[in-house]
Amino acid sequence: MQYIRGALDLEAELMELRQAIGAEKVSTIDQRPWREDSYTLHAPIRVTPTHEDDIVRLMLWASKHRLTITPQGGGTKDAMGEPHTPDVLLSMQHISGIVDYSPRDLTITVKAGTSIEQLQACLAEHGQYIPLDMPHAASSTIGGVFSANISGPRRAMYGSARDYLMAARVIYPDGRLLRVGAKVVKNVAGYDMNKLFIGAMGTLGVLTELTIRTRPISISSGMVLATASIDQLKQLQKLLIDSQLEPSICEWLYGSFEQPIGITSQQPTVAIGFDDVSSAVQYQLEEAQRLCRACGIAEQRTSSDKTQVQTLYTVLGQLLPNAQQLEGRSLIVEMKLLSSIMDVSKVFEAVQSLAAAREIALQFAGGLYTGVSRVIFEASWEQQTEWIELISDVQRYMDSIQGYGIVECAPLSIRQKAAVWGQSGQNDELMKDIKRTIDPHHLLNAGRFIGGM
Amino acid sequence: MIDAPLDEKRKQQMIDALSRVVGKKSILYRYEDVMAYECDGYTIHKGLPAAVVFPSNTEEVAAIVSYLHQQQIPFIPRGAGTGLSGGATALNGEVIISLVRMNKLLHVDYDNRRAVVQPGYINLKLSNSIASKGYYYAPDPSSQATCTIGGNVGENAGGAHCLKYGVTTNHVLGLEVVLPNGQIRRFGGTLDTPGYDVLGLLTGSEGTLAIVTEITVRILKKPQEVSTVLALFDKVTDASQAASDIIACGIIPAALEMMDAMAIHGVESGNYPVGYPKDLAAVLIIEVDGIAAGLQEQIEEIMQVCKNHHVREVRKAKDAAERARWWANRKTAFGAMGTISPDYLVQDGVIPRSKLPEVLERIGQISKQYGLRIANVFHAGDGNLHPLILFDSRVEGETERAVEAGSAVLKACADAGGSITGEHGVGVEKMEDMRFIFNDIEIEAQMQLRDVFNPNSLCNPHKMFPKPARCVEMKRLSREVPAVNI
């Protein structure tokens, strides 16, 4: 695949842009062919603004010339969404830094291109953090995390991006700069516009600044890892849900993990983690062990070593592949599977049998308190045709249990053929109306989102 | 849209048409009958609806809305009418669609920790119905004994315990709604359903985007133990510093409430006096919950923080009965003001917690400036203030002065980097105050979104947004659209 328009065709327009924001922020790559096995995004023009005003000018320029723009943070989610061919890749990496941090208010305001590593390091100095599992911390940006609605195992206790975003600055495709929300923990003035931009994949506006709730890092942590049969795990899940335990993670894990976290066998393992004051952690670890035994689960490992627990959190948080690091490896497809809490076990059984039939290996992490599961399939490139079938079978199964299966990461060749966002739904038209209202010329992430938006 | 009261003939046609949908007994239209619907919990603005219609299921709501849409007659959804910003008040003779007869608990799914309710189902009833199995519904507005969950969704209601557990939007998992054109739609169902978060946008939209006809909410297992501390202070600044420090030291209490001297005077004259000393400047109620083994540690730390700030007396509730007494006193605070003032106006500004001392001082100045007493009772942990402006509507000009003082309080909150409303909504009351925190472009962007769902603004018109904002847009449009010669 070639670019629809190469940079050479746009020389006059580019001159205008260079004048508007500075030549050093605009670079071009001409006629780079797209590779079918690619996980990364490319565009003939790359713009690296250093200030919000640059983005406003870029938007006005793009609107005028009807050029399409895809904002990008660290590029870890490049392989998410329908294949699309933007004219401009808008790198947010230099829109970076802490704007305002008020530890006493448990809130922080950061620019969208700030890396997760920088953000968490700043919070850690005051014993705080943002409890969303945000993988690939060195390259992932906070704007990217919220735009892709990334969540991980700690969601069981702490919720997801929508529970943390309080306010944001957004630039609309026509160059309008808006403030949405308010920089306080509770606010109902006007519509809750924050919600629109979370998980919208940058299709409605460019987030330039976010105000986020923070949390104190808990004093103590502990975990139980228990290897069990599926029936035992189902029983355990019921007992846990009906108990007063307050796990910060409760995941059903299967597959081999890169770092040693104590999961060795090929049998599913349940990981139950707790964050609290030490007496409460200790009590809950004992209770969790008791519940495991009540289900006949003998093989358990317990740790209240904070570093070990952190390692587990990190490893589980890193399950989501980084699109920048997949090229040259075997074929990897990651799907997010959404179901009710009690259906997680069924989902696991279904995807396991669908993959086994095609001799495709899988890694699975299912949230036993959330109903959010991730499956990562891995196989050789020769099996490509079977992939499309596998994805649609998984989606059909999710549909049959009133759930959803979304392809969150796959190479271009797979995304060209699969229904990345699953089947179209009753609400697609309404969503398209929202998109049309804000981005009538489809300039932002054109074609990448649900329903070809 | 018909933006004036209907003439008698059209009104009669409408009543006949709606009667065919819901039956003659489920519609009110006589003056004496609709009088009870002239306002909600915000009583300063009043207006009579053309009719009040009581559907009993989603299909009836859809049929009513389809008819009104076809006739371009505006309408307003209404729950229990406990709203505090006038969101359910008919300003131009709209038809009120009351959802109080859709009041069933449809389904409880304990295994998946969720419950499905109709919009007219009362908030507290849900917690009561599932209590025997050890579950509850977390959002607990002070009006929870009478307010409906549909209304809670409309307003994105909060409550004393949302400091730890979040507000309504954090607990809504799915919605069935009737759009202003009569179409029935469902949103949510699982977490992270693909597409834009319409569920999140609808929650708190004050009935201006759709009418909620069914709600799936998250239910929680009751915490293993609850522990409550009462701290009495001689200085307001000490109490607010203590509130701020408790959060800053890493404890997230389930609730952290504060009342000042005037509020204490009010609640002590009400139906649930606690027996607070007469010369007290402020009281804090701090509640922690969770795993029993961990609570004592937190309680000790909280008590230490209070002692660091010269607390006069601090003690733990000795049992559930004592805790219930403290809460009854606090949760009936608004009503109790009736015993010390003929009228009151409650505000709902939010500020960053760390700004509590300075904003409270500013409110004191506003009280002096307008010559009106202001009682402060609020969610200190969230920085959500509820200044109660006490006035007497029989004294000429005092109502207007109270409204102005309220606006001044909101301005002070906005100036401190906060918001004009944390849980009561904008409604009619704070439309103009929206300008304290949003500029014309930002207001217009919100109105454009409203138009996606509610293009003719038939559903709850003239609410939430200041009036002239549209003028800016109209002006711009008129520039863009070539002039037509007549």
- Tell whether B185 is within 8 A of chain A (Cβ): yes
Residues A69 and A137 in one domain: no
Residues A341 and A362 in one domain: yes
Q: What is the pLDDT of residue A16?
A: 96
Residues B29 and B94 in one domain: yes
Q: What number of H helices and E strands is found in chain A?
A: 13, 19
Q: What is the mean pLDDT of residues B43-70?
A: 97
Residues A259 and A305 in one domain: yes
Which structure tokens are listed for B340?
Answer: 């010390």
DSSP bridge pairs for A74: none
Burial B47-80 (b: 16+ CB within 10 A, else e): bbbbbbbbbbebebbbbbbebbbebebbbbbbbb
User: Does A55 have pLDDT greater than 70?
Assistant: yes
Number of C-beta neighbours around residue B125 at 10 A: 17
Please say which residue of B340, B373, B407 terminates a domain: B340
**Relative orientation angle of helices A278-294 and A230-241, to the nearest 10 degrees:** 130
User: Residues B238, B173: contact at Cβ < 8 Å?
Assistant: no
Q: How confident is the model at residue B477 (pLDDT cuts 50, 70, 90)?
A: very low
- B165 → chain A, closest CA residue: A158
Which structure tokens are listed for A278?
Answer: 């030490």
- CA B177 to chain centroid, in Å, comes to 20
Question: Does A351 fall in a domain?
Answer: yes
The CATH code of the domain that includes A42 is 3.30.43.10
What is the residue range of A413's domain? 323-417
Q: How confident is the model at residue A4 (pLDDT cuts 50, 70, 90)?
A: low
% of chain A at pLDDT higher than 70: 95
Q: What is the pLDDT of residue A3?
A: 57
Question: Does B2 fall in a domain?
Answer: no
Q: CA–CA separation, A150 vs A137, rounded Å?
A: 12
Question: Does B349 fall in a domain?
Answer: yes
Q: What is the pLDDT of residue A1?
A: 42
Q: CA–CA separation, A318 vs B142, rounded Å?
A: 42
**Helical residues (DSSP H) of B371-468, grouped into ranges:** 398-415, 440-453
- Which of A179, A182, A371 is the closest to B191 by Cβ? A371
Q: What is the pLDDT of residue A263?
A: 60
Please say which residue of A216, A231, A248 terminates a domain: A216
Least confident stretch, A31-45, A341-355, A361-375, B162-176: A31-45
Residues B249 and B312 in one domain: yes
Q: CA–CA separation, B185 vs B176, rounded Å?
A: 6
User: Residues A45, A86: contact at Cβ < 8 Å?
Assistant: no
Q: Scanning the structure block, which residue is given the tokens 């200030």?
A: A51
Q: CA–CA separation, B481 vs B475, rounded Å?
A: 10
Looking at CA atoms only, how far is residue A24 from chain B in angstroms? 31
Closest to A377 measured CA to CA, from A335, A343, A421, A411: A335
By three-state DSSP, how is residue B451 classified? helix
> Phi/psi class of residue B86: alpha, beta or left (left: φ > 0; alpha: ψ in -120 to 50)?
left
User: Does B257 have pLDDT greater than 70?
Assistant: yes
Q: How confident is the model at residue A37 (pLDDT cuts 50, 70, 90)?
A: confident
Number of C-beta neighbours around residue B289 at 10 A: 21
Residues A112 and A200 in one domain: yes
DSSP bridge pairs for B454: none
**Total domains present in chain A:** 4
- A178 → chain B, closest CA residue: B442
Q: CA–CA separation, A204 vs A85, rounded Å?
A: 17
Q: What is the mean pLDDT of residues B426-449?
A: 97
- Tell whether B151 is within 8 A of chain A (Cβ): no
* Apex B291 CA angle, B288 and B296, nearest 5: 55
Q: What is the pLDDT of residue B472?
A: 44
Give the torsion through C-alpha atoms of B359, B362, B366, B371, to 10 deg: 110
Q: What is the mean pLDDT of residues B349-357?
A: 92
- Tell whether B166 is within 8 A of chain A (Cβ): yes
Cβ-Cβ contacts under 8 Å, B205 against chain A: 191-192
% of chain B at pLDDT higher than 90: 88
Query: Do the Cβ atoms of B167 and A421 come within 8 Å?
Result: no
Q: What is the mean pLDDT of residues B229-244?
A: 94
**Which is higher by pLDDT, A8 or B235?**
B235
Of the CA atoms within 13 Å of residue B224, those in its CB half-sphere come to: 15
- The ipTM estimated for the assembled molecules is 0.96
Q: What is the pLDDT of residue A258?
A: 62
- Which of B167, B185, B437 is the closest to A186 by Cβ? B167
% of chain B at pLDDT higher than 70: 96
Rounded to 5, what percent of chain A is helix, strand, coil? Answer: 35, 25, 40
- Tell whether B180 is within 8 A of chain A (Cβ): no
Query: Do the Cβ atoms of B192 and A159 come within 8 Å?
Result: no
Looking at CA atoms only, how far is residue A365 from chain B in angstroms? 16
Q: What is the pLDDT of residue B481?
A: 36
Size of the A and B interface in Cβ pairs below 8 Å: 244
The CATH code of the domain that includes B317 is 3.30.70.2190
Residue in A102, A176, A186, A398 to test binding to B, most B beta-carbons within 10 Å: A186
Query: Do the Cβ atoms of B445 and A342 come within 8 Å?
Result: no
Least confident stretch, A26-40, A333-347, B184-198: A26-40
User: Going by C-beta distance under 8 Å and a sequence separation of 6 or more, which residues neighbour residue B290?
Assistant: A246, A276, A280, B223, B224, B225
Residues B216 and B230 in one domain: no
Please say which residue of B203, B221, B239 terminates a domain: B221
Q: What single-letter amino acid sits at B450?
A: R
Residues B200 and B258 in one domain: no
Question: Does A186 fall in a domain?
Answer: yes
Residues A352 and A388 in one domain: yes
User: Residues B293, B237: contact at Cβ < 8 Å?
Assistant: no
- Tell whether B425 is within 8 A of chain A (Cβ): yes
Q: Scanning the structure block, which residue is given the tokens 């799936």?
A: B216
Long-range contacts from B23-27, C-beta under 8 angstroms, 24+ separation: B26/B53, B26/B54, B26/B55, B26/B56, B26/B101, B27/B51, B27/B52, B27/B53, B27/B54
Which phi and psi (to 5°) does residue B315 adopt? -150, 160
- B152 → chain A, closest CA residue: A188
Long-range contacts from A4-11, C-beta under 8 angstroms, 24+ separation: A4/A85, A4/A87, A5/A44, A5/A67, A5/A87, A6/A30, A6/A31, A6/A44, A7/A44, A7/A45, A10/A44, A10/A45, A10/A65, A10/A67, A10/A87
Query: Do the Cβ atoms of A431 and B185 come within 8 Å?
Result: no
Q: How far is residue A91 from each of residues A26, A47, A68, B232, B259, measured CA to CA in Å? A: 10, 6, 14, 54, 49
The 10s digit of each residue's pLDDT in B123-179 is 999 999 999 999 999 999 989 999 999 999 999 999 888 889 999 999 999 999 999
Q: How confident is the model at residue B6 (pLDDT cuts 50, 70, 90)?
A: confident
> Phi/psi class of residue A451: alpha, beta or left (left: φ > 0; alpha: ψ in -120 to 50)?
left
Closest to B147 measured CA to CA, from B127, B162, B161, B165: B127
Looking at CA atoms only, how far is residue A342 from chain B in angstroms? 6
Residues A242 and A297 in one domain: yes
**Exposed, middle or buried by CB within 10 Å (0-12, 13-18, 19+), for B207?**
buried
Q: Scanning the structure block, which residue is given the tokens 């930002």?
A: B442
Looking at CA atoms only, how far is residue B431 from chain A in angstroms? 9
User: Residues A347, A307: contact at Cβ < 8 Å?
Assistant: no
Q: What is the pLDDT of residue A122?
A: 98
Q: What sign does the dihedral B409-B415-B416-B420 (CA atoms) show?
A: positive
Query: From start to end of B219-307, where are the E strands?
Result: 220-221, 225-233, 255-260, 282-290
**Exposed, middle or buried by CB within 10 Å (0-12, 13-18, 19+), for A367?**
buried
The CATH code of the domain that includes B41 is 3.30.43.10
Q: What is the mean pLDDT of residues B276-304?
A: 95
- A199 → chain B, closest CA residue: B196
Q: How confident is the model at residue A143 (pLDDT cuts 50, 70, 90)?
A: very high
- CA A304 to chain centroid, in Å, comes to 28
**Total domains present in chain B:** 5
Residues A163 and A211 in one domain: yes
Least confident stretch, A72-81, B25-34, B333-342: B333-342
Question: Does A435 fall in a domain?
Answer: no
Q: CA–CA separation, A252 vs A365, rounded Å?
A: 5
Please say which residue of A93, A128, A161 terminates a domain: A93
- A105 → chain B, closest CA residue: B353
Q: How confident is the model at residue A273 (pLDDT cuts 50, 70, 90)?
A: very high
**Exposed, middle or buried by CB within 10 Å (0-12, 13-18, 19+), for B271?**
exposed
Residues B115 and B213 in one domain: yes
Q: What is the mean pLDDT of residues B299-308?
A: 96
Q: How far is residue A169 from each of residues A73, A143, B189, B214, measured CA to CA in Å? A: 16, 11, 29, 33
User: Does B433 have pLDDT greater than 70?
Assistant: yes
User: Residues B277, B232: contact at Cβ < 8 Å?
Assistant: yes
Closest to A241 measured CA to CA, from B315, B195, B112, B431: B112
- Tell whether B181 is within 8 A of chain A (Cβ): no
Q: How confident is the model at residue B474 (pLDDT cuts 50, 70, 90)?
A: very low
The 10s digit of each residue's pLDDT in A85-118 is 999 999 999 999 999 999 999 999 999 999 999 9
Residues A106 and A202 in one domain: yes
Closest to B449 measured CA to CA, from A287, A338, A190, A72: A190
Question: Does A23 fall in a domain?
Answer: yes
Query: Do the Cβ atoms of A430 and B434 come within 8 Å?
Result: no
Q: CA–CA separation, A234 vs A345, rounded Å?
A: 7
Looking at CA atoms only, how far is residue B206 from chain A in angstroms? 9
Q: What single-letter amino acid sits at B295?
A: L
Number of C-beta neighbours around residue A399 at 10 A: 13
User: Does A5 have pLDDT greater than 80?
Assistant: no
Question: Does A431 fall in a domain?
Answer: no
Pairing of strands A107-111, A128-129: unpaired
By three-state DSSP, how is residue A387 classified? helix
The 10s digit of each residue's pLDDT in A318-331 is 889 999 999 888 89
User: Does B439 have pLDDT greater than 50?
Assistant: yes
Long-range contacts from B126-131, C-beta under 8 angstroms, 24+ separation: B126/B217, B126/B219, B129/B105, B130/B219, B131/B222
- A338 → chain B, closest CA residue: B190
* Apex B373 CA angle, B369 and B378, nearest 5: 110
Give the torsion through C-alpha atoms of A35, A37, A39, A40, to 10 deg: -10
Please say which residue of B308, B340, B372 terminates a domain: B340
Residues A305 and A378 in one domain: no
Q: How confident is the model at residue A425 (pLDDT cuts 50, 70, 90)?
A: confident
What is the residue range of B18's domain? 8-98
Residues B252 and B314 in one domain: yes
Residues B299 and B345 in one domain: no
Mean pLDDT estimate for chain A? 93
The 10s digit of each residue's pLDDT in A148-185 is 999 999 999 999 999 999 999 999 999 999 999 999 99
Number of C-beta neighbours around residue A195 at 10 A: 24
Q: What is the pLDDT of residue A385?
A: 80
Question: Does B3 fall in a domain?
Answer: no
Q: CA–CA separation, A302 vs A392, rounded Å?
A: 39
- A404 → chain B, closest CA residue: B193
Q: How confident is the model at residue B485 (pLDDT cuts 50, 70, 90)?
A: very low
User: Does B476 have pLDDT greater than 50?
Assistant: no
- Tell whether B132 is within 8 A of chain A (Cβ): no
Question: Does A1 fall in a domain?
Answer: no
Residues B80 and B175 in one domain: no
User: Does B451 have pLDDT greater than 60?
Assistant: yes
Query: Do the Cβ atoms of B111 and A341 come within 8 Å?
Result: yes
Number of C-beta neighbours around residue B402 at 10 A: 22
Q: CA–CA separation, B312 vs A171, rounded Å?
A: 51
Q: What is the mean pLDDT of residues B333-351?
A: 92
Q: Scanning the structure block, which residue is given the tokens 């746009």?
A: A10
Cβ-Cβ contacts under 8 Å, B292 against chain A: 283
Q: What sign does the dihedral B95-B100-B101-B102 (CA atoms) show?
A: positive
Residues B334 and B362 in one domain: no
Cβ-Cβ contacts under 8 Å, B299 against chain A: none
Residues A104 and A155 in one domain: yes
Question: Does A152 fall in a domain?
Answer: yes
